[in-house]
Amino acid sequence: MSDVSMGTSQMREGAPAPLARLFGWGMLAFLASYLANNVLVVWFGFPGALTGLTGGGTLAIIQVIIYVVFFALAAMKVFGRPNASLRAEAERISAFNAWLIRSCFWAVLFVGIADVIIAFMRTENLLIYFMSEDAVLQFNLARYVGPVIHTPLIVLAFIVGLFTRTLGFTWLALMIVGAELLIVISRFVFSYEQALMGDLVRYWYAALFLFASAYTLMDEGHVRVDVFYAGLDPRGKGRVNAFGSIFLGMTTCWVIISIGMAGKTAIINSPIVNFEVTQTGGTGMFVKYQMAAFLAVFAVTMLIQFVSYLFEAVADMRGEPGKREVGSAAH
């Protein structure tokens, strides 16, 4: 991520800010609870936490308990260290978000390469030379390729993300250009084109723009209309950033999450559950369901980063030292 001044890393204590910290950590607790319950509802048939408040049975009560536990952990985090520095906590939240984002980039790299190879072999009927007919039939089903091929690669990506410190935006952009160049050469030189080639470009393009948004927010790279903002002092800028983080940023993220994940038939959940593929079917890649999940990744990572941004903004409002200096970051 961006360069951070040494003061922020070393200054772990500061003036108490219980309301801001409780709001921020409570927001993250609610996000974690919501995502956990979404998995239980979509994949395991749980009834939903709201039914637990109206006597929905044991499963619903378990879902309510998940919310209670996460909020209790958030409260313990806040009141267990009342003097924790807002800037230090913002730094830790951003570091976690950076791991999440770079792991997602590794995932689309691994899955993209593996799936385009499988799609090419499937399209050209080459799989029969390497496996049995039954296995070939399995590789023609997205419900098989998704759990058996894609899921282990995604898990591997999150492990690799623990040992890397770069986010890979530049390299992913370069690979998109390479994929586009391959399409041009194969189409106009060899008169050869398959749907999988366009699928790979769209897959990586979607990841590049949606995953990079939270990183761009961290690096102050978003376009800002600062007719008035540029003339404000640091405290004034902090107020604007705090207001924007809560009422513009977080609300937008929650609209995406709540609409996209409101049950099994929601626009994000439904393609994932059904391992949805494009209309090209077996001639294309089996990654459309992941592109629906990219919307959730975008909203979740942006929401996490807005909490970090809020902590930084409140620290600016209070005039606390150790303000993060945005500099050039390795990609």
Task: Judge if 198 and 227 occupy the same domain.
Answer: yes
Q: Given pLDDT bands bounded at 50, 70 and 90, which one contains residue 282?
A: low
Task: Judge if 133 and 271 occupy the same domain.
Answer: yes
Sequence-separated contacts (24+) of 189-198 with Cβ below 8 Å: 194/119, 194/120, 194/123, 194/283, 194/284, 195/278, 195/280, 195/283, 195/284, 196/116, 196/119, 196/120, 196/123, 196/280, 196/283, 196/284, 196/285, 197/116, 198/284
Structural domain harbouring 159: 86-317
Residue with the bigger pLDDT between 71 and 215: it is 71
Asked whether residue 265 carries a pLDDT value surpassing 70, the answer given is yes
Task: Judge if 137 and 21 occupy the same domain.
Answer: no
Predicted confidence at residue 18, as pLDDT, reads: 92
Domain assignment present for 290: yes
Task: Judge if 90 and 78 occupy the same domain.
Answer: no
Transcribe 18-38 into DSSP letters: HHHHHHHHHHHHHHHHHHHHH
16-52 in b/e form (b: 16+ CB < 10 A) is ebeebbbbbbbbbbbbbbbebbbebbbeeebebbebb
Task: Judge if 295 and 307 occupy the same domain.
Answer: yes
Q: Lowest mean pLDDT: which of 11-20, 236-245, 275-284, 305-314?
A: 275-284
User: In angstroms, rounded to a whole number, what is the distance separating the alpha carbons of residues 296 and 300?
Assistant: 6
Residues 6+ apart with CB under 8 A from 39: none
User: In angstroms, rounded to a whole number, what is the distance separating the alpha carbons of residues 166 and 13?
Assistant: 28
Kindly report whether the global pTM for this prediction surpasses the value 0.75: yes
Q: What percent of the chain has pLDDT over 90?
A: 61
Residue with the bigger pLDDT between 101 and 9: it is 101
Amino acid identity of residue 117, one-letter, is: I
Query: What's the mean pLDDT in 5-20?
Result: 69
* Most confident by average pLDDT, 175-179, 219-223, 301-305, 315-319: 301-305
Query: What's the mean pLDDT in 212-223?
Result: 79
Of the residues 31, 58, 82, the one at which a domain ends: 82
Q: Given pLDDT bands bounded at 50, 70 and 90, which one contains residue 85?
A: very high
Decide: 309 and 241 in contact? Cβ < 8 Å: yes
Residue with the bigger pLDDT between 291 and 6: it is 291
Asked whether residue 142 carries a pLDDT value surpassing 50, the answer given is yes
Asked whether residue 9 carries a pLDDT value surpassing 50, the answer given is no
| Through-space distance between the first and last CA atoms of the chain, rounded to whole angstroms | 8
Task: Judge if 60 and 166 occupy the same domain.
Answer: no
Domain assignment present for 323: no
User: In angstroms, rounded to a whole number, what is the distance separating the alpha carbons of residues 42 and 296?
Assistant: 14
Q: CB burial class (10 A; 0-12, 13-18, 19+) of residue 317?
A: buried
Torsion of CA 80, 83, 87, 90, to 10 degrees: 10
Domain assignment present for 166: yes
Predicted confidence at residue 239, as pLDDT, reads: 93
Q: What percent of the chain has pLDDT over 70?
A: 90
Q: Given pLDDT bands bounded at 50, 70 and 90, which one contains residue 322?
A: confident
181-220 in b/e form (b: 16+ CB < 10 A) is eebeeeeeeeeeebbbbbbbbbbbbbbbebbbbbbebbbe
Query: What's the mean pLDDT in 187-209?
Result: 88
Predicted confidence at residue 5, as pLDDT, reads: 41
Of the residues 82, 111, 126, the one at which a domain ends: 82
Predicted confidence at residue 13, as pLDDT, reads: 79
Query: What's the mean pLDDT in 113-129?
Result: 91
Task: Judge if 58 and 204 occupy the same domain.
Answer: no
Domain assignment present for 32: yes
Task: Judge if 50 and 120 occupy the same domain.
Answer: no
Decide: 76 and 31 in contact? Cβ < 8 Å: no
Torsional sign, CA 191, 197, 202, 207 = negative
- Number of domains composing the chain: 2
- How many residues are listed for the chain in this entry? 331
Task: Judge if 39 and 184 occupy the same domain.
Answer: no
Of the residues 62, 82, 102, the one at which a domain ends: 82
Domain assignment present for 227: yes
Decide: 89 and 21 in contact? Cβ < 8 Å: yes
Query: What's the mean pLDDT in 225-229?
Result: 74
Tell me the average pLDDT of the chain: 88
Query: What's the mean pLDDT in 118-145?
Result: 91
Predicted confidence at residue 225, as pLDDT, reads: 67
Q: Given pLDDT bands bounded at 50, 70 and 90, which one contains residue 214?
A: confident
Residue with the bigger pLDDT between 182 and 330: it is 182
Query: What's the mean pLDDT in 204-215?
Result: 90
Task: Judge if 162 and 193 occupy the same domain.
Answer: yes
* Most confident by average pLDDT, 183-197, 206-220, 298-312: 298-312
Domain assignment present for 9: no
Q: Given pLDDT bands bounded at 50, 70 and 90, which one contains residue 55?
A: low
Q: How far is CA 301 from the centre of its chain?
A: 4
Asked whether residue 328 carries a pLDDT value surpassing 60, the answer given is no
Asked whether residue 83 carries a pLDDT value surpassing 50, the answer given is yes
Task: Judge if 126 and 226 occupy the same domain.
Answer: yes
Task: Judge if 32 and 105 occupy the same domain.
Answer: no
Domain assignment present for 328: no
